Structure formats: C-alpha cells, structure tokens
C-alpha cells in the first residue's frame, strides 16, 4: 500500500468529507482554504488555539490559522497553525496528515500553506478562500503563489457543509441551550428590586461560566425602555425584563430569550406574551425534514400580520450553530442582510433554526421569545424549552 492510500485508510476525519466533496464539485472548486476560527475548529473536529481564543492580534501581525482541503483528497489535507498550538497538538494530535505549528503571523502562515500546496501537488485552478476572514497581507501572498487561479468565496460551500449538524454537534448545542436557560432561571430567582441591568448581566455571565459555557453576549431590556445594552438602569418593582443571551459550549451557541418581571404581570402583559407564544408555536409546527424553509414564515407571518400590534411586532427565523445567523438562511428581509437561498429548499434533519418573535411596545416595553429548534426526520425538537411564561424575580 502506498503512503497516500495508507494515510487515507487510517484517517479519522471528523466531518462528512464526502458531503464537502460533493459541494465543492457542484461549485467547481479544487481546494478550500479555511481561515476563520469557527470553520477551522469544525474541520479539525474541535481544535481551537487556546492562546488566541479571545484576541487575534499579536505583536505587529495577527493570528491566522489555515486549513487546506483539496477536493476528494483528504489524505492531502493540511493544517498550518501558530507555534504555540504545538503544545496542544502534542497532547491531542490532529487528524490532518500534514500539521505544521510553526507560524508567528498572517504572512508566514499563508507562505507555508502555499509552499505545502505546491509540494503536495494540489490542483489549484479554482481556489475557495474565506474572503471575510482573510487579511489583505495574507491574500496578497496567496494570489502571488497562484497568479493564474480563479477565486471564489468559501463562505457558502462551508456553510452548506455545516448546515446539517452531526449527532455530536447537536449534543453540544443542546448542552449550550439548556445551560443558558438554567443560568437565566438562577439569575431571575436571585434578582431583587433595585438591581441594575449591568448587575443582572454580570450575574448571568458567572452562571453561564459556572456551567461550562463561554459567555458571549446578553441583550437586555428593563421596564418600558427598548434599549438592550447593559447599564445602571434599575429593575424596579413592576418592571418587566427581557433577557436574550448566547452562551458558547465548545464552539456551539445556545441562544434563547426569555421574559421576567418584578412582581406579577397584569392581564395585558399575559395576553401580549401569550400572543408571542402562539406565533412561536405556529411557526415551529411545520419544521420537519423535507419541509421547505419558507413554510416557517408561511405559518408565523400571517399571525403577526393580523395582530393588533402588527406595526410593532417582528418575526424572524434564522440558522444557528457555530455562528449566529448561519445557514439555513430563510429570509432576505431580516435585520441581518443575506440572501434567502434556503427558503425554497427542503430542510434536512440536523439543521438548526432559531425562531424569534419580538414586540416593541412603546408603553409596556420589549417582549420577546426566542427558541432553538432542531429539524428531525419526523418533526422537530426544541432545545432549552423552559421558562416560557412570565418568570417572577426574587
């Protein structure tokens, strides 16, 4: 058995490489160069540089991981990483047949990637690079290395690859979602009148961290204000609060929004949240493998449109996973601009959709529910199902 055949036979590839090969073939791509931390982490099966988990800047340059994947040839895949990653790869070796952890910045990382591609004889007539995650200096090196190559953005092929989650990925998403819910429950239960929004967010950060999450964000409102930034505004008796938080578990985001109140909700508040719950449930009902993405909007949007609050009521469904608003993308009218390329396509089991309905009421405040919904063969499953009503503080 030759070296390549032997290497291919023994590779423990952590993703569905045949799916990626099909996607690359359909797009006419010879080789993908992933340079975003989330896609590199996905393709390496969980590896992420711990020294650069938060910041990318270092000295006069920046950290740049480079993952090289040639279509149909995983035995020639390579990872080019920073020298400090060598400690991690000694403890937990990567699956890639070629692993180099010797770089210091963006230019030398791409130089080594180009040198490897040439040495390995990787076809490079059409190269897919992550345009939004490729520094100008590294892009110049890549273009100079393959001056006759055609270029395309790797974003879409890699998002399509990641859109269908594996059972292992879904486990991480479920842990993240449920841990965020449990963190919210603990914070709401301990919040007394007079606590500030900033103090609530800090308490939530601690709760999520104690449950093994990396705290990413909390969009928070209080009383009748529609401002979602942490501040010194106090959560007083009778005030409502929306808590919309994302907690990351090994690269996967649990993103949910729930409502709380200091005291008891009146009938109007109960009706408002009840209407949002009705829209949420209606929109989630058609979610199943084989349903077209636009069926989610077809179920939720009419209820929003006929509401007496329709001028202040927003409905949105978007993909969720390693990135907020990733594939499947179902609308081109939402707050984050992107094409609705999945609206007419069938949903696949393993896809994950965030469903959210928001009421921006001028006298009652910001009222919202957001749920993480997983597509299954026979229907759907909600991750982090609890706390859907008015949660009493303290």
**Can you give 295-312 as a three-state secondary structure string?**
HHHHHHHHHHHHCCCHHH
SS3 241: strand
**How far is the C-alpha of 10 from the C-alpha of 99, rounded, in Å?**
16
Instruction: Determine what percent of the chain falls in helix, strand and coil, rounding each to the nearest 5.
Output: 40, 25, 35
pLDDT band of 353, cuts 50, 70, 90: very high
**Tens digits of per-residue pLDDT, 14-27?**
999 999 999 999 99
Predicted pLDDT of residue 333: 86
β 390-392/313-319 pair status: unpaired
Place of tokens 């501040």: 231
pLDDT band of 8, cuts 50, 70, 90: low
Examine the pLDDT at 350 and tell me if it is beyond 50: yes
Predicted pLDDT of residue 7: 46
Examine the pLDDT at 92 and tell me if it is beyond 80: yes
Q: Where are the alpha helices (DSSP H) in the chain?
A: 3-10, 17-27, 37-43, 85-91, 106-120, 136-145, 155-163, 167-190, 197-210, 267-284, 294-306
Predicted pLDDT of residue 371: 98
Q: Mean pLDDT over all residues of the chain?
A: 96
Examine the pLDDT at 389 and tell me if it is beyond 90: yes
Terminal alpha carbon distance of the chain: 68
pLDDT band of 361, cuts 50, 70, 90: very high
Predicted pLDDT of residue 1: 30
Q: Walk me through the domains of the chain, giving residue ranges and CATH numbers.
A: 3-162 (3.40.350.10), 167-392 (3.90.230.10)
Least confident among 141-155, 321-335, 370-384: 321-335
pLDDT band of 99, cuts 50, 70, 90: very high
**Interior/surface letters 48-67, b for 16+ CB within 10 angstroms, e for the rest:** bbeebeeeeeeeebbbbbbb
SS3 71: coil
Q: Are 187 and 203 in contact (CB under 8 A)?
A: yes
Examine the pLDDT at 61 and tell me if it is beyond 60: yes
**How far is the C-alpha of 242 from the C-alpha of 222, rounded, in Å?**
7
Examine the pLDDT at 94 and tell me if it is beyond 50: yes
Place of tokens 């920073």: 82
Over range 38-43, report the average pLDDT. Answer: 98
- % of the chain surpassing 90 pLDDT: 95
Examine the pLDDT at 87 and tell me if it is beyond 70: yes
pLDDT band of 274, cuts 50, 70, 90: very high
């Amino acid at each position: 058995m030759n070296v390549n055949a032997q290497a291919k036979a023994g590779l423990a590839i952590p993703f569905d490489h045949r799916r990626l090969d099909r996607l690359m073939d359909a797009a006419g791509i010879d080789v993908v160069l992933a340079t975003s931390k989330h896609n590199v982490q996905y393709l390496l099966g969980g590896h992420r540089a711990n020294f650069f988990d938060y910041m990318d800047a270092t000295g006069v340059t920046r950290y740049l991981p480079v993952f090289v994947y040639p279509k149909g040839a995983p035995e020639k895949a390579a990872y080019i990483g920073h020298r400090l990653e060598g400690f991690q790869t000694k403890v937990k070796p990567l699956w890639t047949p070629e692993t180099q952890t010797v770089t210091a910045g963006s230019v030398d990382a791409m130089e080594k990637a180009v040198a490897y591609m040439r040495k390995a004889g990787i076809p490079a007539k059409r190269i897919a690079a992550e345009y939004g995650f490729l520094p100008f200096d590294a892009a110049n090196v890549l273009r100079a290395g393959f001056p006759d190559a055609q270029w395309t953005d790797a974003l879409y092929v890699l998002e399509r690859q990641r859109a269908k989650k594996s059972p292992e990925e879904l486990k991480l998403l479920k842990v993240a979602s449920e841990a965020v819910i449990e963190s919210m429950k603990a914070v709401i239960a301990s919040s007394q009148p007079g606590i500030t929004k900033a103090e609530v967010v800090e308490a939530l950060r601690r709760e999520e961290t104690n449950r093994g999450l990396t705290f990413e964000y909390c969009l928070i409102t209080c009383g009748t204000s529609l401002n979602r930034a942490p501040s010194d505004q106090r959560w007083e008796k009778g005030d409502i609060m929306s808590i919309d938080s994302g907690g990351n578990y090994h690269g996967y985001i649990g993103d949910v929004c729930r409502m709380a109140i200091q005291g008891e909700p009146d009938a109007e508040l109960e009706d408002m949240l009840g209407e949002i719950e009705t829209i949420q449930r209606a929109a989630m009902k058609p979610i199943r493998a084989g349903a077209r993405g636009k069926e989610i909007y077809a179920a939720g949007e009419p209820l929003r449109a006929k509401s007496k609050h329709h001028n202040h009521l927003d409905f949105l469904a978007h993909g969720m996973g390693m990135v907020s608003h990733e594939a499947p993308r179902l609308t081109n009218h939402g707050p984050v601009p992107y094409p609705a390329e999945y609206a007419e396509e069938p949903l696949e089991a393993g896809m994950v959709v965030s469903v959210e309905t928001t009421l921006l009421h001028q006298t009652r405040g910001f009222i919202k529910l957001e749920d993480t919904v997983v597509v299954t063969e026979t229907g759907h499953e909600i991750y982090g199902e609890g706390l859907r009503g008015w949660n009493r503080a303290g």
